[in-house]
Amino acid sequence: MAVKLIKVTGNLISWGLISLSILFMAIRRSMALLQFLTDGDRSQLGLPFVTAGLITSALMLAGVVLISPLFKSMAEEITRRKKTEEALIKSEKRLSSVTANLAEGIYVFDKSGRLTFMNPEAERLLGWTIEELNEHGPHNLVHFRRPDGTPLPLEECRMHSVSRTGKVFSSTDEVFVRKDGTVFPISVITSPIRENDELVASVTVFQDITEKKRLDDRLKKSLSEKEILLREVHHRVKNNMMVISSLLRIQSKALDEPKSLEIFRECQNRIGTMMKIYEKLYKAPDLTRVNFNEYIKDLTITLFDSYNIDPDRIGVELSLSDIPIDIEKAIPCGLIINELISNALKYGFPDGRSGIIRVSLHPLEEETAELIVYNNGLEIPETIDIHNTETFGLQLVRLLAKQLWGEYRLRRDNGTEFRIAFKYGPDRHKTRRHHTARQTAVAKGVRA
């Protein structure tokens, strides 16, 4: 017995003293009894018992004194374990309460593929109890098919493999089958559970996304209808501009004055510049952005044809980055290029003079692009102030640059170079302008 207590408690001295006291008492009593049987002296029989009792009591007291800290430690350990168990029970109840009120289904697989937990929402969505699923195999009842209806073998189920591979799996393209046979799409994520770096289980959280899929399909259909409508609008705008351009061309045939003919041709070119934007949009996969590189190439060819310019006499060099420019920026930007190239072709190379026109468009930073139009022909006279000029073309360039919220500069050095920096991203200035106008109107007591 003492040996067992020593093994359990680990206190050799305490239990040794107590055991020794018991052994000593037994020996003294045996000796006294032997003396009585041998000598017949009854008077000495009580003395060994008294002496043995005193010695035994002393030894036991010493043992108890030595072992009392151990009892205290054991009591503290029992109390600590009891508190830990109570905290664990509370934590499990809290977790069960949380999962019971979640809108997502949750279940846990152990490493062998057996369900160990399933919250009420999972039972409601699937219609199966955890016992029924474990009896027949969860995969065989719930996840045995792909979205297209083809069979999904267990060995190809990526959710099932998480507890083996340790890799998280998430998808919005899976389906589950209810107990009544109905199939519903799910959004699902399965994560591994580890203990001491060892894979022991996996937890799956899933949600019925039938309504979301229905709304997505409705949204795609609506978007497709609006795309068709917007494409038709672009096409009609282009056709209307073509009609206007044709009317101007017909009307110009009745004019004899060169100045009037020049004005009509410039109007036609400007309309043609805008018309090409809508033509590109009509054919583009993205109805809000223009392939600006291709647009500028087509625009320069059209302008050269309009002014009957020999491309061998005046060359064009284009350096264009692929910048996504929306229609609100593409139209004023295209008109600026139209005006600057037209001015160069009309006034920069008189009397058959040859030269070059360069157009470049490159990003700078923070959704800012820089447009540069240069020609090595005659420079714009120093007497012309581009910020205060009466020429319609340069006035239009200034107004269009302002519409782009851009900064423009003119450099006269072996030709003429215009630089315009502008934001090609979303028009934040429009929002700010609308907000400022509304504040002003409210301040004046006007309903905006």
445 in the same domain as 347: yes
Q: What is the pLDDT of residue 331?
A: 84
How many domains does the chain fold into?
4
Half-sphere exposure of residue 15: CA atoms within 13 angstroms, side-chain side: 14
**C-beta atoms surrounding 116 within 10 Å:** 13
DSSP-derived letter for residue 340 is: H
Query: Treating both helix axes as pointing N-terminal to C-terminal, what angle do 292-306 and 327-343 enclose, rounded to 10 degrees?
Result: 30
Confidence of residue 340 (pLDDT cuts 50, 70, 90): very high
360 in the same domain as 260: no
Pairing of strands 105-110, 325-326: unpaired
Q: What is the pLDDT of residue 184?
A: 96
Q: Which of 287, 308, 340 is the last residue of a domain?
A: 287
Among 71-75, 160-164, 339-343, 348-352, name the one with the lowest average pLDDT: 71-75
Residue 150 has pLDDT above 80, yes or no: yes
pLDDT (tens digit, 9 = 90+) per residue, 358-389?
Answer: 999 999 887 889 999 999 999 988 888 877 88
Q: Which of 287, 310, 328 is the last residue of a domain?
A: 287
177 in the same domain as 40: no
Domain, as residue range, for 112: 103-208
Confidence of residue 190 (pLDDT cuts 50, 70, 90): very high
**Which tokens belong to 342?**
């037209």
380 in the same domain as 427: yes
Indicate which CATH number applies to the domain containing 403.
3.30.565.10
Q: What is the pLDDT of residue 174?
A: 94
120 in the same domain as 190: yes
Residue 236 has pLDDT above 60, yes or no: yes
Q: Which of 80, 96, 112 is the last residue of a domain?
A: 96
Indicate which CATH number applies to the domain containing 182.
3.30.450.20
- Residue bearing the bigger pLDDT, 431 or 343: 343
Q: What is the pLDDT of residue 53?
A: 53
Q: Which of 38-52, 72-86, 130-144: highest mean pLDDT? A: 130-144
> Residue type for 214, please?
R
Residue 429 has pLDDT above 50, yes or no: no
Q: What is the pLDDT of residue 123?
A: 92
| Residue from 108, 180, 173, 119 nearest 147 by CA | 173
Cα gap 221→198, rounded to integer Å:
48
Q: Over the range 299-329, which residues count as b (16 or more CB within 10 Å of their CB) and which as e?
A: bbebbbebeebeeeebebeeebeebebbeeb
